[in-house]
Structure 1
Amino acid sequence: MEGNHGSRHIDRRACARSESHMQGVNVKSEIGNLKKVILHRPGNELLNLTPNTLEELLFDDIPFLEVAQAEHDAFADILRNEGVEVVYLEDLMAEALDTDPALREQFLNQWIYEAGIRTDLYTDIIKDYINSEYAGTKDMVMKTMAGINLQELPQQHTNLLVDMVSDRTKLVCAPMPNLYFTRDPFNMIGNGVGINRMYSTTRNRETIYGSYIFNYHPDFKDVPQYYSRENTFHVEGGDVLNINDHVLAIGISQRTEPDAIDQLAHNVFSDETSTIDTILAFNIPVSRAFMHLDTVFTQIDYDKFTIHPGIMGPLTVFEITPDGKGGTKIRERDEDLESILTEYVGQPVQLIPCGGGDRIAAEREQWNDGSNTLCVRPGTVVVYQRNNVTNDVLYKNGINCLVMPSAELSRGRGGPRCMSMPAWREAL
């Protein structure tokens, strides 16, 4: 089944790439008509998840790859059927590397170093293995995502004690199983991008692909960059929401530090091409349930948001604006979420709680990202099938739900918004 499904998938992907050609990025809202999106189809990186590595690799369970891929293909097909051009992270990375023959070795050296390999001996062993077994650029890219364990490498007499006592299944280069959540390693801000420094070492390695794409890919290399993966402070894409062409919302969370928001605000306000003049920093609780701002609320229509029920009540928000002298002004706001969103959206808003007010349903469906939806156009969103209580509430509030299967993908603790990085939305 996987082989047949895979070939159909590749053919459709090739067709999608030829449908349109939008250079650069344009994302000035969360709800404008979605025209182009970056996905990553789960690959063999999920096969390198084991019970012993789950915590380290930020998973609670091991998805069944074949079913996860079928679900992801259904997600991509839903988007294509809505007129969205679907491009894949792995393809963009391969295309970026193919622009210059020297980039392959440069990338491999960097990837091996960031995987924690520090000896010349093992650097050479791994490079020789990848170059001999994965000559094609895309195959090589996919292998770097999947990781390498010791038993894959040719057994050589290294005269190293570690090789004599190590389990042959030991991971030499860890996989990147969270990559199908393309929202986090980088994020679009208007016509620019932030290449993020992520909270965990495991996920920070993912940002290497965005770095190469936005520095070398013909479609993206001229996009203004507002943040660098080399920066000191953490920020993740799930904490960044484009409210409109003037207002950006960012969560102060477990995974995004206030220092990063200060730096991002300075860079955005300093760019003459940026239209953003206000950044709202939402101080959200530090917990797994509130991992990112987009697990707290997500815009789904001109005047409607899905929300985590636990965020109702007073909320501390910091309004950041330019001071006219190259710095910023900060004003603290202590109001409820509805009042703040109403002010900046420009009209009264309706907050639709995950689970529809049923506490047990809310806790269950929030765990499966019931309020984390991908808006295709105002009032039309992609949702997980398993969150049937929340989906029914959305239907009753006039929202068109495009339902996708989610039994395996949801095990990674991320919803349709987490699994997608819009690259182009039409203006509202």
Structure 2
Amino acid sequence: MSFHVESEVGVLKQVIVHRPGLELSRLTPANHDELLFDDVLWSERARQEHDAFAATLREHGVLVHHFGELLAEALDAPGARGFLACHLTTRFRFGPALERHLDDLVRVAPAATLASYLIGGVLKRDIAGVIDAPSLLLEYLHDDDFLLTPLPNHLFQRDNAAFAYDGLSINPMAKPARRRETINSRLVFDFHPAFAAGGVRKLYGDDSLDHDRATLEGGDIAVIGNRAVMVGMGERSTPQGVEMLARALFRAGTVDTVIAVELPRERSFMHLDTAMTMVDRDAFSVFPYLPHELRSFTLHRLGADGEYKLEENKELFPVVADVLGVERVRVLRTPIDRSGAAREQWNDGNNFLALAPGVVVGYERNTTTNRYLADEGIQVVPIVGEELGRGRGGPRCLTCPIEREAVAR
């Protein structure tokens, strides 16, 4: 099976999503800030909304894969549990007294149970009576303390891994609360039979290096098509990370142009797709009050070694139009006052997932933006996101496309 993403708005064929599980039930008033959530979500309702979202995708012909299931299947592949013992259950994470005992558990635990804990976290009481070791860490922890913290941000599958054309970046995440997601993503993409047999080209991050400041997240990566990628630089993806990705894309020979966009350094603009998303072959939905003078830079491929020519752009969207080969880009800024725009922005009013050119999925609550896009010829397929949206992520955030067609021009 071939996995590739040729555009942002071509017909969507396959995606990975993560149905909220144990990890969302372990989000509390005491830990939600540390885990990058603004509130405690109603987990049961969030699952219902996510199920409806997945059903909407299937109704539009999209093959939906669930990350938790892929992870469980990957854990039964040869070498997967050894990888986990090497990269997760280490003496530096748990102390030398626990390392061997946790390695043993990793090797014998049923795959579905282990996958649930890798995402949902492990409390001390979860392993009470299973491990008998003179561990200072175990003695120190209370029964309801986390031995392994939950990963509720796995809900946002866009960020931890991203396909760009025929390549895959397994992204080094910016925040400590999300960095362990990369281990789970590497398990899936390195060991699951569907991906291991598919010969997926790895671009960046599929290693055990210290990436330091070169962080990158998929919400900042937009495959705009025509051998070009746009990447946001802000709270999560750094210039160093963007350059690492650009050089990998240029070496792969599938991309000629990378456009790097500087974002406002605010939580509501944590990724490029919280500020703008592509909704048609020539159109972007853009936060109405996003500064017109956003700085952007174009990296032009020079050769097979990853070198590039760098230039700062006078304006962003004329450059995008030129790269896409269209006369102009329709920049769709909803006519709305600042307070209304801020409310819809907080609820991911510009975070759309394209199903096909001019057909996108968005949260129904952003009524002003949705009506405006409809007036501009964009069909918005509405979904409920009362709980999902409280995690500060929209339909694009919830999905990792693994197969999407190019756009006919």
The question of a shared fold, defined as TM-score above 0.5 by the shorter chain, is answered with: yes
* Letter matched to residue 362 of structure 1: A
Deviation at 1:127, TM superposition (A): 4.9
* Letter matched to residue 401 of structure 1: V
Aligned to 1:180: 155
Aligned to 2:76: 98
Is the contact made by 1:280 and 1:318 (CA closer than 8 Å) also made in structure 2? yes
Is the contact made by 2:12 and 2:405 (CA closer than 8 Å) also made in structure 1? yes
Question: CA–CA distance in 2 between the matches of 1:98 and 1:120?
Answer: 26
Is the contact made by 1:249 and 1:282 (CA closer than 8 Å) also made in structure 2? yes
Counterparts of 1:391-402 in structure 2 under 5 Å?
Answer: 391-402=370-381
Aligned to 1:330: 310
Deviation at 1:267, TM superposition (A): 1.4
Deviation at 1:424, TM superposition (A): 0.7
1:247 to 228, 231, 244: 228
Q: How many residues are paired up?
A: 398
Is the contact made by 1:24 and 1:219 (CA closer than 8 Å) also made in structure 2? no
1:193 correspondence with 2:168: yes
1:236 correspondence with 2:217: yes
Aligned to 1:213: 188
Aligned to 2:393: 414
Question: CA–CA distance in 1 between the matches of 2:70 and 2:21?
Answer: 16
1:73 correspondence with 2:51: yes
Deviation at 1:157, TM superposition (A): 7.0
* Letter matched to residue 193 of structure 2: P
Aligned to 2:202: 225
Aligned to 1:20: none
User: Structure 2 vs 1, CA of residues 148 and 268 (structure 1 numbering), >3 Å: closer, same or farther?
Assistant: same
Instruction: Could you tell me which runs of 5 or more consecutive residues in structure 2 were left unpaired when the two chains were aligned.
Output: none
Counterparts of 1:344-363 in structure 2 under 5 Å?
Answer: 344-347=323-326, 348-354=328-334, 356-363=335-342
* Letter matched to residue 234 of structure 2: S
Question: CA–CA distance in 2 between the matches of 1:212 and 1:165?
Answer: 31
Is the contact made by 1:25 and 1:223 (CA closer than 8 Å) also made in structure 2? yes
Which is further off, 233-242 or 145-154?
Answer: 145-154
Question: CA–CA distance in 1 between the matches of 2:114 and 2:137?
Answer: 27
Is the contact made by 1:384 and 1:404 (CA closer than 8 Å) also made in structure 2? yes
Is the contact made by 1:129 and 1:153 (CA closer than 8 Å) also made in structure 2? no
Is the contact made by 2:16 and 2:401 (CA closer than 8 Å) also made in structure 1? yes
Question: CA–CA distance in 2 between the matches of 1:377 and 1:277?
Answer: 24
* Letter matched to residue 58 of structure 1: L
* Letter matched to residue 242 of structure 1: V
Aligned to 1:117: 93
Deviation at 1:360, TM superposition (A): 1.5
Question: CA–CA distance in 1 between the matches of 2:170 and 2:136?
Answer: 39
Question: CA–CA distance in 2 between the matches of 1:146 and 1:345?
Answer: 42
1:314 correspondence with 2:293: yes
* Letter matched to residue 224 of structure 1: R
Aligned to 1:11: none
Question: CA–CA distance in 1 between the matches of 2:169 and 2:294?
Answer: 26
Question: CA–CA distance in 2 between the matches of 1:268 and 1:163?
Answer: 45
Question: CA–CA distance in 2 between the matches of 1:423 and 1:365?
Answer: 28
The sequence identity of aligned pairs, in percent, is 36
Counterparts of 1:21-60 in structure 2 under 5 Å?
Answer: 23-60=1-38
User: Structure 2 vs 1, CA of residues 165 and 214 (structure 1 numbering), >3 Å: closer, same or farther?
Assistant: closer
Is the contact made by 2:298 and 2:311 (CA closer than 8 Å) also made in structure 1? yes
Query: What TM-score comes out, normalization by structure 1 length?
Result: 0.87
User: Structure 2 vs 1, CA of residues 162 and 316 (structure 1 numbering), >3 Å: closer, same or farther?
Assistant: closer
Q: Deviations over 1:172-207 (max 9, x none)?
A: 100000001000001111011011101012111101
Is the contact made by 2:95 and 2:137 (CA closer than 8 Å) also made in structure 1? no
Question: CA–CA distance in 2 between the matches of 1:165 and 1:220?
Answer: 41
Aligned to 1:295: 274
Deviation at 1:123, TM superposition (A): 3.0
SS for the counterpart of 2:396 is coil
Is the contact made by 2:228 and 2:256 (CA closer than 8 Å) also made in structure 1? yes
SS for the counterpart of 2:242 is helix
Is the contact made by 1:321 and 1:329 (CA closer than 8 Å) also made in structure 2? yes
1:305 correspondence with 2:284: yes
Which is further off, 78-87 or 389-398?
Answer: 389-398
Question: CA–CA distance in 2 between the matches of 1:307 and 1:107?
Answer: 41
Query: What TM-score comes out, normalization by structure 2 length?
Result: 0.91
Is the contact made by 1:190 and 1:245 (CA closer than 8 Å) also made in structure 2? no
Which is further off, 191-200 or 357-366?
Answer: 357-366
Deviation at 1:28, TM superposition (A): 1.3
1:139 correspondence with 2:116: no
Is the contact made by 1:227 and 1:264 (CA closer than 8 Å) also made in structure 2? yes
Deviation at 1:164, TM superposition (A): 5.0
Is the contact made by 2:84 and 2:106 (CA closer than 8 Å) also made in structure 1? no
Question: CA–CA distance in 1 between the matches of 2:238 and 2:161?
Answer: 15
Question: CA–CA distance in 2 between the matches of 1:29 and 1:165?
Answer: 51
Deviation at 1:98, TM superposition (A): 2.2
